[in-house]
Structures are given as structure tokens and as C-alpha cells.
Structure 1
Amino acid sequence: MTPGASPPEVGGEKTLLSVNVGRPRPNPIKKSRLTGIDKQPVDGYVSVADPGSGGTGLVGLAGDRAYDTKAHGGSDQAVYAYAREDLDKWAAELDRPLAHGAFGENLTTLGLDLDGALIGERWRIGPDVVLEVSCARLPCATFQRWLERDNWIKRFTGAARPGAYLRVIEPGKIRAQDSIELLHRPDHDVSVALVFRAMTLEPVLLPRLLVADALAERDKERIRRRSTRPL
């Protein structure tokens, strides 16, 4: 779907529009000096697998990697997905085109409510790959520099359309135009949007996240640290 096109009706077909892999770019604002935020669509199949523990730079898609290993990579951030519908909203608000991968996402989706997805929700993409929603994307200085908007972190945070990070449950290969099937939706109300709000502007919501067993370990640790602070 091109920028400005109408979003699909709720309940319509869920499709993987694009699989995007990063190209290393200079990143003078970080110690790593490189960033993989410049994600470009890939033709054909891309292998997806669990990258293991964080700190190595490994991510879920073959040919991609994270350079800021403290903030990115590892099983809980193996794959990042963003909705084409939200890219189109941003394209209109920013008055500029936004191609698939423009927000550094590995997967550009259509017809999927990523922000309303629940932590622990599972999707099958194509015939083999199963992914599980683990956490929300938090904006950083690299993202702001990439979008070339001085107030981007504040603006992105206020809009609360973060997209979802996913872990790999079943590896395999995916490609653009694969179908996306909802396999499991957990029995709680902890959505990606709720996690994002709790982690940014509304920390009072943090205790509500604890019912989501599949929540990313970094988010659980943040809740534990906050709960041990003296009153």
C-alpha cells in the first residue's frame, strides 16, 4: 500500500508487505559508531532464527545485525515489526514519503494491529516461522537523527504508535507477501501500547505489566528496580 492509501478494514487479510535488512551506516552519536537502522527491502526468502542472548549484536534475520549491543539485539528483540498503516499516518503528518523499512523495522505489515497486540501473542508468518510479541520499541537518539527531526523522540512518544518487537519461537524462512496468521492470544490485557505508555510517560502503569509472563526480561527488570526504590 502506498502512502495516503486507505487502511484495510478490520478483520481483513494480514500480510507481510516487506522483509527489511539493515545496511551499516555511520552513527557518530553512539560509541558503536555504526547503526543498522537503515533497513532495506529484500527480494526472496530470508532466514529467521533465535539470535540467543543479547550483547552479541545478533538479531533474528539473516544478514542483519545490531551495533548498539547494549540497547538492541538478543532473543527478546529478535525482530521488529511496524505497520504500513502507521507509516502512512506518519508520512502524512511529516509531509514526506516513508518507504518500507523507514522506521528501521524488519517486517512491514498490512492489516495487523501491532500496537493492540498482546504480549505473548503468537503469529505464524508463511508456512514455518512463528514469532511471539515481547515488547514495545522505545525511541532513541539514533532514531531521531535518522528521521532528521529535532523533536522526534517527544513526538513519537506522544503518538504512542511504537510497533512491536518479537522473539522467534519456530525458525524458518519468510518473504514479502507471506500471510500472517494469529495462532495464540493470551488471557490478559497487556498490549504493546500499554507497555509503551508504562515505559515512557505513565510509569504508574508498570505493575499492570506483571501479568504478562512473556514480557521481555529488560522490562521485567525495570519493574523490579522500581518496586525496590524507597518511598
Structure 2
Amino acid sequence: MTAPPPDPRPTTIAVLVGRPAEHTAPSGRLVRTAFRKHVVDGPVVVGETNLDGDEQADLRVHGGPDKAVLAYSAEHSARWAELEPALAEPGAFGENLHVAGLTEADVCIGDRWAVGSALFEVSQPRQPCWKVDDRWGRDDLVDRIESTGHAGWYLRVVQVGTVRAGDAWALVDRPHPRWTVAEAFDVMHHRRDDLAAARALDDLPELAPSWRRSLAKRVLRLSAGDLADEDQTDRRAGPVG
């Protein structure tokens, strides 16, 4: 008997969830975070703002309907393994869905993807923060993510349902084929003086409101001729104390 050909569609390799817990960072800072996720076997219920069993510690900057689920590409694993083998494992970057066959260059803002019985919409690239470095006791991962764009992407839930490892991803709608997650990430992190790109990206109604607010401020600043860069200290270094 001839074996069936492999499924060419993108596929969820692992589903992961986690709840907030406290630990002491190498700096001595007490950190409360849900960054550490564990793999779940079997179906997992997708709610409007979370997978069942998943929470966020700091709701000011994480979670909510526009950051309900974080997806990360398994296609980056080989490169991360060269740096540290554990970084290639599902959940190494705090994601909920570890997916093969897709990268930031393959998904676009506003895309709608059917996964399991749920329907997701791509809301924004993930912006790496200090908790990535904190998780691994390193001081270079945020820089590496920003330089490579291997950041992952957030999903809002359009239709609740269930997901599980082995689910195929099916593209249902793509309203903005120009605006891949990779392109949006590049504008936000590398083309900070590109006024036209900031305006165009800010015009996407599906883009998360937090990104649109940041871009609107950038547009005002650049329109006024102010080329000073945005302050990234809190996101990259975390709170003091």
C-alpha cells in the first residue's frame, strides 16, 4: 500500500497554556508571569479572550481580545537550536500555538484562519519584551527577535471552538495581502522614520488598537519633522525595582 502524501497545509504542532506564577529573576526582581507554558494533549476550548487554562499576568500589556492567542512558527526552531537547544522546543517563546508551515512572511494582518473548529483573525505581530530574556536568563533574545523578525503573531477569536495538536490551518480570508506580519514588524521596529508606511499600516481596521495608537503618534511626530526615536525602555528592560 502506498502511503498518503504528507498534508501540505500549515499544522499546529502543539497547543500550550499557562497560568501566572512568581519567580525571582537573575536581577533579584520578583516577576509574576505566565510566560512558561505547558503542552496540552487533546482538545482545548478556545474562548473569546483565551484558551482554556491560559491566563496573562499583566493585563495592561498582555491578553484581551486582540491578544487572545499567540502563534509561533516551528520553522524558526532550527535556527534557535543553534543558539540553545531548549529555544527550539514548543512554548519556548510563550506561545499558545506552535505551528509548522507558516512564518511571519506567510500571514497577513486581518487574515482569517480556520483552525480546528475555531476561527481566528491576525491582529498584530508580537512585540518582544523583557520577559523573553527573563525567561531564559539571557540579555540578547529581544535583540535577536527584533533583528530577525522571528516574533510570532497574535490572534483574536472570531468564532469560539476547540483546537488541538494536528489541526490544519485553512486560510478563509485575506483582505490585506501587502501587509504581512513580517512587513508590519519591519515598519514598527526598523522603518521608524517611514511616514508613508506608518500611515498605511495605521489605516488597517483589523490592526490591534494599541498598534494603531502607536502608529498615529508616530505619524504626528514625523509629520511635524520630529525624527527622535520612540522610547522603548519599558518594553525592553522592564520596570525598575
Structure 1 unaligned spans of 5+:
1-8, 52-59
Structure 1: how far apart are the matches of 2:141 and 2:218? Answer: 27
1:21 — aligned with what?
17
Structure 2 unaligned spans of 5+:
1-5, 226-241
Bigger Cα displacement from structure 2, 11-20 vs 116-125: 11-20
Kindly state the Cα deviation for residue 122 of structure 1 after the two structures are TM-superposed. 0.8
Q: Where do 1:1-231 residues align within 5 Å?
A: 12-28=8-24, 33-51=31-49, 60-92=50-82, 94-97=83-86, 98-126=88-116, 128-203=117-192, 204=194, 205-229=197-221, 230-231=224-225
Q: Is the 8 A contact 1:188 1:211 kept in 2?
A: no
Kindly state the Cα deviation for residue 79 of structure 1 after the two structures are TM-superposed. 0.4
Q: Is the 8 A contact 2:125 2:153 kept in 1?
A: yes
Deviations 1:17-39 (A, max 9, x none): 11000143325569983101101
Deviations 1:103-136 (A, max 9, x none): 100000111233431100011011x200010101
When normalised by structure 2's length, the TM-score is 0.81
Q: Superposition RMSD on alpha carbons, in Å?
A: 2.2
Structure 2: how far apart are the matches of 1:131 and 1:28? Answer: 35
Q: Is the 8 A contact 1:27 1:142 kept in 2?
A: no
Structure 2: how far apart are the matches of 1:220 and 1:187? Answer: 16
Secondary structure of the equivalent of 1:139?
A: coil
Query: Which one-letter code corresponds to 1:226 in the other structure?
Result: R
Structure 2: how far apart are the matches of 1:170 and 1:178? Answer: 16
2:239 — aligned with what?
none
Aligned length: 212
When normalised by structure 1's length, the TM-score is 0.84
Secondary structure of the equivalent of 2:205?
A: coil
Q: Is the 8 A contact 2:19 2:56 kept in 1?
A: no
Query: Which one-letter code corresponds to 1:132 in the other structure?
Result: E
Q: Is the 8 A contact 2:108 2:176 kept in 1?
A: no
Secondary structure of the equivalent of 1:16?
A: strand
Structure 2: how far apart are the matches of 1:31 and 1:199? Answer: 29
Q: Is the 8 A contact 1:198 1:206 kept in 2?
A: yes
Deviations 1:185-210 (A, max 9, x none): 12441111112122222222322313
Of all paired residues, the percent bearing the same amino acid is 34
Q: Which has the larger radius of gyration?
A: 2
